[in-house]
Amino acid sequence: MAFNKMWCTVALGLLLPFSYAHTDFFTSIGHMTDLINTEKDLVVSLKDYIKAEESKLEQIKKWAEKLDRLTDTATKDPEGFLGHPVNAFKLMKRLNTEWSELESLVLKDMSDGFISNMTIQRQFFPNDEDQTGAAKALLRLQDTYNLDTDTLSRGNLPGVKHKSFLTAEDCFELGKIAYTEADYYHTELWMEQALKQLDEGEVSSADKVYILDYLSYAVYQQGDLHKAMTLTKRLLELDPEHQRANGNMKYFEYIIAKEKEANKSSTDSEDQSEKETVVKKKDYLPERRKYEMLCRGEGLKMTPQRQKRLFCRYYDGNRNPRYILGPVKQEDEWDKPRIVRFLDIISDEEIETVKELAKPRLSRATVHDPETGKLTTAHYRVSKSAWLSGYESPVVSRINTRIQDLTGLDVSTAEELQVANYGVGGQYEPHFDFARANEPDAFKELGTGNRIATWLFYMSDVSAGGATVFPEVGASVWPRKGTAVFWYNLFPSGEGDYSTRHAACPVLVGNKWVSNKWLHERGQEFRRPCTLSELE
């Protein structure tokens, strides 16, 4: 089975263009599960190799023991031993053929199967970019969810099923990646964590001298000269000959001497307080702070009075014949903009079908580059997505009809069903679904006008993180498997509703699957007649 699967993968690899080989694994758990299977197959192969090597050694051992006994007897009385004609014959035979056979056995390479499996699978392995991407995802999560380094390193996250922790070596690696990004804030945090774990006695190949070297630099870059000096001193205790550290030490002493002079001459305390407030964290846009707070479940802007006016109800799609007898459950999630959630609106079987259809086609989600007008990947949209058409499966077609029935909007002018899978750290930073006045060409080729409304299915629960948040209005909507949310992006006048700016929070633990339908203006003229006022 595993064997067959492997060859399928190989055949695909040969047929598709080379770029397929690199697929940004870290952006989607859907693709990473393939890697788990690859690894499992490799372990089987590795164990087969070990077995083969062990049985070879066993044979060699037996031969050695037999010869040991024999030579013992023979050397005690060589002449008497050889006096027996059979022993003489056997000696000739052993030396002429058996030792050569043994030599061949010793030289025999048992690693063929494993090495060829490795060679085949290696072309699908993640590369440096994937490793860096996964590391950056961890740093992003740390910020968004205010996790301290120790919590993250010990793996004490909410809702985790398979606890896992970082070694000092892993922490050092994360610190180095932050360092190459000139992100000294995270460099300091992770180098300190690595050092702490080593100080606590963790056995590791990570080297304190290297860690201190990075750490003191990161600390210095953030303006804490005295701490940088203390760390450099510690480094020099471990390695008194360290050239750069010795050089830095002299430099620090020089700067501090200069500062002292300045302190003496200026009695003004103004610039001191300025220096003390070392800017530790990167400067965030206010929106970013709002976004991150909402992701953590803080900063909701709902008043009890407004809350009282949010209801749940049975909804029949405005007397749609298909729903009169079996209306669906609908909840108000928010009032302005109005966001409603439909419950039990997509079955587990439908979800599985949609996921299976999408999986082979998942590719890194792209965004419009406003400068070139081309589609590109962007750090602010980290997920994988695929488009499914109603023609390819009755399930997709049924889903489209359901959206039409329940929204009262024509889905024939809508975009195809987009399926997205977010891996750990996967996110989509605040954005609008509709095209702004300054980008009239965004949906020109579709010829169906702007994106009037958004329908979003949650196709999985998420253990932690992964909310959909609206930073303008302070709303968060949490993923619940089998439900869907719906809102209008445009006012009835056709103007964009800026309060619909929203984001997909990074997934902290778990795997997030969603699918969405963007409905367009064309076809809705009689279904949602436009008005002149924005407010209606």
Ligand X SMILES: *[C@@H]1O[C@H](CO)[C@@H](O)[C@H](O)[C@H]1NC(C)=O
Select 44 or 160, whichever has its Cβ closest to ligand X.
Answer: 44
Select 271 or 298, whichever has its Cβ closest to ligand X.
Answer: 271
3-state DSSP assignment of residue 380: coil
CA distance 168 to 180: 18
CA distance 204 to 190: 15
CA distance 455 to 457: 7
Select 227 or 296, whichever has its Cβ closest to ligand X.
Answer: 227
Task: Give the distance, in angstroms, between the CA of residue 431 and the centroid of all CA atoms in the same chain.
Answer: 20
Contact 482, 346 (CB under 8 A): yes
Select 54 or 65, whichever has its Cβ closest to ligand X.
Answer: 54
CA distance 33 to 440: 40
Contact 363, 384 (CB under 8 A): yes
* DSSP code at position 477: E
The distance of closest approach from Cβ of residue 117 to ligand X in the complex, given in angstroms and rounded to an integer, is 4
Q: Are strands 339-342 and 468-470 parallel, antiparallel or unpaired?
A: unpaired
Kindly list the residues in this chain that would bind ligand X in the complex (CB under 6 A).
Answer: 44-45, 48, 113, 116-117, 256, 259-260, 263, 272
Select 44 or 302, whichever has its Cβ closest to ligand X.
Answer: 44
Give the residue ranges of DSSP H helices in 266-347. Answer: 270-276, 286-295, 304-308, 321-324
The dihedrals phi and psi of 342, each to the nearest 5 degrees, come to: -100, 135
The dihedrals phi and psi of 506, each to the nearest 5 degrees, come to: -60, 145
The distance of closest approach from Cβ of residue 122 to ligand X in the complex, given in angstroms and rounded to an integer, is 13
Select 250 or 431, whichever has its Cβ closest to ligand X.
Answer: 250
3-state DSSP assignment of residue 463: coil
Here the contacts of 147-156 (C-beta below 8 Å, separation 24 or greater) are: 149/189, 149/190, 149/192, 149/193, 150/193, 150/196, 153/193, 153/197
Select 116 or 389, whichever has its Cβ closest to ligand X.
Answer: 116
The distance of closest approach from Cβ of residue 275 to ligand X in the complex, given in angstroms and rounded to an integer, is 7
The distance of closest approach from Cβ of residue 279 to ligand X in the complex, given in angstroms and rounded to an integer, is 17
The distance of closest approach from Cβ of residue 11 to ligand X in the complex, given in angstroms and rounded to an integer, is 14
Select 48 or 169, whichever has its Cβ closest to ligand X.
Answer: 48
Give the Å distances, CA to CA, from 534 to 434, 491, 495. Answer: 15, 6, 7
Write out the two tokens for 290. 């709002």
DSSP conformation letters of 177-239: HHHHTT-HHHHHHHHHHHHHHHHTT---S--HHHHHHHHHHHHHHTT-HHHHHHHHHHHHHH-
The distance of closest approach from Cβ of residue 17 to ligand X in the complex, given in angstroms and rounded to an integer, is 24
Select 116 or 493, whichever has its Cβ closest to ligand X.
Answer: 116
Select 199 or 259, whichever has its Cβ closest to ligand X.
Answer: 259
| Residue 43 Rama label (left phi>0; alpha psi -120 to 50; beta) | alpha
The distance of closest approach from Cβ of residue 98 to ligand X in the complex, given in angstroms and rounded to an integer, is 30
Beta bridge partners of 376: 367
Select 16 or 257, whichever has its Cβ closest to ligand X.
Answer: 257
The distance of closest approach from Cβ of residue 426 to ligand X in the complex, given in angstroms and rounded to an integer, is 32
* DSSP code at position 361: G
- The secondary element (H helix, E strand) that includes residue 157 is none
Write out the two tokens for 267. 């009695």
CA distance 53 to 108: 10
Q: Which of 498, 500, 459 is nearest to 481 (CA)?
A: 459
The distance of closest approach from Cβ of residue 233 to ligand X in the complex, given in angstroms and rounded to an integer, is 16
The distance of closest approach from Cβ of residue 13 to ligand X in the complex, given in angstroms and rounded to an integer, is 14
Select 256 or 343, whichever has its Cβ closest to ligand X.
Answer: 256
Select 112 or 298, whichever has its Cβ closest to ligand X.
Answer: 112
Select 238 or 256, whichever has its Cβ closest to ligand X.
Answer: 256
The distance of closest approach from Cβ of residue 57 to ligand X in the complex, given in angstroms and rounded to an integer, is 18
| Burial category of 495 from C-beta neighbours within 10 Å (exposed 0-12, middle 13-18, buried 19 and up) | middle
The distance of closest approach from Cβ of residue 12 to ligand X in the complex, given in angstroms and rounded to an integer, is 16
278, amino acid identity = V
